[in-house]
């Protein structure tokens, strides 16, 4: 039986915790499992490295950021291997490159293109526990790349898929997926099961318990994920295809994303092609746009608003500067948050959005932007009301225990 286990930043956040992980890995090994272990950097490490870079530059080169950030995962992979070796277990630590992970060229947000599993299989056949530094790969030019924040989840899922593993277990500091972040709403309820589609929406909308790309890939490759805690034992939450007879819950979860910034352009010259030009330029810069609003035009001008991840606001401002002639004034707001409700049952029920708006209104929370899809409703609000909005919506849809 081949199992891929991934341990996140908190689980390897100190030497004692690495020791704890080593013991868990050893136990699985004693049960006779072949193991590929993916590790994150120690918690806070990646952020610290980003801060170091920002000491020198607001817009550091993405190639050098990958050189920098990939180091954190190497540290934990090597330390875990050293700990396991000392305990008498044959173990080897590998970088993403050594593990055969090939990506595209999008530095700091690379996509995995393929995995050459030869080395991994050789090491497993030699009786090694294989530890892989998560969050990284190598592109066609031999450059180190990283897979976006939270990307060790993606490494784990991709490896589980490529190796056709029997299980992909993702360990963090929570014992599964909850109806909302239990740190925000202590009444949140643990789910035994959640479908790929709902999990994908939740994680795309800010529930950082699993990286959204990892869920997307898991769905594509049919990798069943089990989310568990590295601090306790329990069955965790299974993330997989929805079974035939599963009941379609109306709303299964609430997510909060505080990493949002709003860009507003006023008096934009309303001519055909202007939106295409602006958004093409943003896309060329790999800036992710989320919500977009454009007002009906008046006297040949219109107002255009959209949201970007906070980390991309500086670059978005630069792009807007290159369009200065096209609009009257611009305004940027980092203090916004996106709160979302997700549920497959929305497909067949009306009134869900109205109920969400009403719940926020009752608490005097103003909604600045709205976007909906078949299975979600997202609202941009003032960041300071983010947690309150989560609790209000959680209550309104009866998600608590
Ligand atoms: P790791 O560092 O192991 O990758 P993360 O910090 O990325 O772990 O993810 C775990 C955290 O995700 C939890 O501590 C919890 O606060 C948060 N979280 C957000 N939304 C949810 C949710 N719906 N269910 C469970 N945890 C959630
Ligand atoms: N260390 C990286 C991050 O903090 C990747 C990960 O933890 O999954 O984003
Ligand atoms: Mg994570």
Q: Which atom of ligand 1 is nearest to the CA of 176?
A: 25
58 CA from centroid of ligand 3 (Å): 25
Q: CA 161, 164, 169 angle in degrees (round to 5)?
A: 65
* Mean pLDDT score, 208-216: 96
pLDDT of residue 295: 85
**In this model, does residue 200 exceed pLDDT 70?**
yes
81 versus 246: the higher-pLDDT residue is 81
For ligand 1, atom 4, the nearest C-alpha belongs to: 8
Contacts of 390 by beta carbon, 8 Å cutoff, 6+ apart? 180, 181, 184, 185, 254, 256, 339
* Mean pLDDT score, 181-204: 95
**In this model, does residue 281 exceed pLDDT 70?**
yes
**In this model, does residue 245 exceed pLDDT 70?**
no
Distance CA 357, CA 377 (A): 10
The tens digit of pLDDT for each residue in 79-124 reads 999 999 999 999 999 999 999 999 999 999 999 999 999 999 999 9
- Choosing from 7, 11, 40 the residue with most ligand 2 atoms within 8 A of its CB, the one to mutate for a pocket test is 40
Q: Which atom of ligand 1 is nearest to the CA of 183?
A: 16
Tokens of 61: 């080169």
* Mean pLDDT score, 119-144: 98
**Mean pLDDT lowest among 142-146, 158-162, 246-250, 274-278:** 246-250
**In this model, does residue 244 exceed pLDDT 90?**
no
Q: Is 27 helix (H, G, I), strand (E, B) or coil?
A: helix
pLDDT of residue 270: 86
210 CA from centroid of ligand 2 (Å): 11
**Mean pLDDT lowest among 85-94, 206-215, 248-257:** 248-257
pLDDT of residue 11: 98
pLDDT of residue 150: 97
382 CA from centroid of ligand 2 (Å): 27
The tens digit of pLDDT for each residue in 372-396 reads 999 999 999 999 999 999 999 999 9
Distance CA 319, CA 363 (A): 37
Distance CA 387, CA 339 (A): 9
**Mean pLDDT lowest among 87-101, 130-144, 236-250:** 236-250
Could you tell me if the CB of 170 is within 6 A of ligand 1? Answer: no
Could you tell me if the CB of 172 is within 6 A of ligand 1? Answer: yes
pLDDT of residue 347: 85
Q: Which residues on neighbouring strands pair with residue 382, listed in sequence order?
A: 336
206 CA from centroid of ligand 1 (Å): 10
- Choosing from 208, 212, 253, 341 the residue with most ligand 1 atoms within 8 A of its CB, the one to mutate for a pocket test is 208
Q: Which residues on neighbouring strands pair with residue 371, listed in sequence order?
A: 378
Site of tokens 């030699």 = 126
CB 215 within 8 A of CB 200: yes
Could you tell me if the CB of 8 is within 6 A of ligand 1? Answer: yes
66 CA from centroid of ligand 2 (Å): 12
**Mean pLDDT lowest among 20-34, 130-144, 335-349:** 335-349
Q: Which atom of ligand 1 is nearest to the CA of 211?
A: 7
**In this model, does residue 336 exceed pLDDT 90?**
yes
Q: Which atom of ligand 2 is nearest to the CA of 149?
A: 9
Q: Which atom of ligand 1 is nearest to the CA of 253?
A: 23
**Mean pLDDT lowest among 69-73, 95-99, 224-228, 281-285:** 281-285
- Tell me which residues have their CB closer than 6 angstroms to ligand 2: 8-9, 40-41, 46, 72, 134-135, 149-153
**In this model, does residue 189 exceed pLDDT 70?**
yes
* Mean pLDDT score, 220-230: 97
Cα atoms found within 13 Å of the Cα of residue 317, Cβ hemisphere only: 13
Tokens of 76: 């934990």
pLDDT of residue 334: 95
Distance CA 226, CA 237 (A): 6
pLDDT of residue 296: 86
150 CA from centroid of ligand 3 (Å): 4
DSSP H helices in 140-264: 152-162, 196-204, 212-221
**In this model, does residue 246 exceed pLDDT 80?**
no
Q: Which ligand is nearest to the CA of 172?
A: 1
12 CA from centroid of ligand 2 (Å): 12
pTM: 0.91
In the chain, what percentage of residues exceed pLDDT 70? 98
Domains of the chain (ranges, CATH numbers): 2-173 (3.40.1160.10), 254-396 (3.30.2130.10)
**Chain mean pLDDT for the chain:** 95
């Amino acid at each position: 039986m081949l199992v891929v286990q991934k341990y996140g930043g908190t689980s390897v956040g100190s030497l004692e915790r690495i020791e704890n992980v080593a013991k868990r890995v050893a136990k699985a090994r004693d049960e006779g499992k072949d193991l590929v272990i993916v590790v994150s950097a120690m918690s806070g490490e990646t952020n610290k490295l980003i801060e170091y870079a920002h000491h020198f530059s607001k817009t550091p080169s993405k190639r050098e950021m990958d050189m920098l950030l990939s180091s954190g995962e190497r540290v934990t992979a090597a330390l875990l291997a050293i700990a396991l070796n000392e305990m008498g277990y044959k173990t080897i630590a590998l970088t993403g490159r050594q593990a055969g992970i090939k990506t595209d060229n999008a530095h700091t947000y690379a996509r995995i293109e393929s995995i050459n599993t030869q080395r991994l299989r050789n090491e497993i056949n030699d009786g090694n526990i294989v530890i892989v530094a998560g969050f990284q790969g190598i592109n066609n030019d031999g450059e180190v790349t990283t897979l976006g924040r939270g990307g060790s989840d993606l490494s784990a899922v991709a490896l589980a898929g490529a190796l056709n593993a029997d299980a992909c277990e993702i360990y963090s500091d929570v014992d599964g997926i909850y109806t909302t972040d239990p740190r925000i709403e202590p009444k949140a309820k643990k789910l035994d099961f959640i479908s790929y589609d709902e999990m994908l929406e939740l994680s795309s909308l800010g529930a950082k318990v699993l990286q959204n790309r990892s869920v997307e890939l898991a769905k594509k490759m049919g990798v069943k994920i089990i989310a568990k805690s590295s601090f306790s034992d329990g069955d965790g939450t299974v993330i997989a295809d929805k079974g035939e007879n599963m009941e379609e819950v109306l709303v299964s979860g609430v997510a909060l994303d505080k990493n949002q910034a709003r860009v507003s352009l006023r008096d934009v010259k309303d001519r055909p092609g202007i939106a295409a030009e602006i958004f093409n330029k943003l896309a060329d810069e790999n800036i992710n746009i989320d919500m977009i609003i454009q007002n009906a035009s008046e006297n040949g001008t219109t107002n255009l608003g959209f949201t970007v991840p906070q980390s991309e606001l500086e670059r978005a401002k630069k792009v807007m500067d290159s369009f200065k002639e096209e609009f009257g004034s611009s305004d940027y707001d980092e203090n916004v948050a996106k709160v979302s409700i997700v549920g497959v049952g929305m497909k067949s029920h009306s009134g869900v959005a109205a109920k969400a708006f009403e719940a926020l209104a009752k608490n005097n929370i103003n909604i600045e932007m709205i976007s909906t899809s078949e299975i979600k409703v997202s609202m941009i609000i003032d960041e300071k009301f983010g947690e309150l909005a989560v609790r209000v919506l959680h209550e309104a849809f009866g998600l608590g225990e």
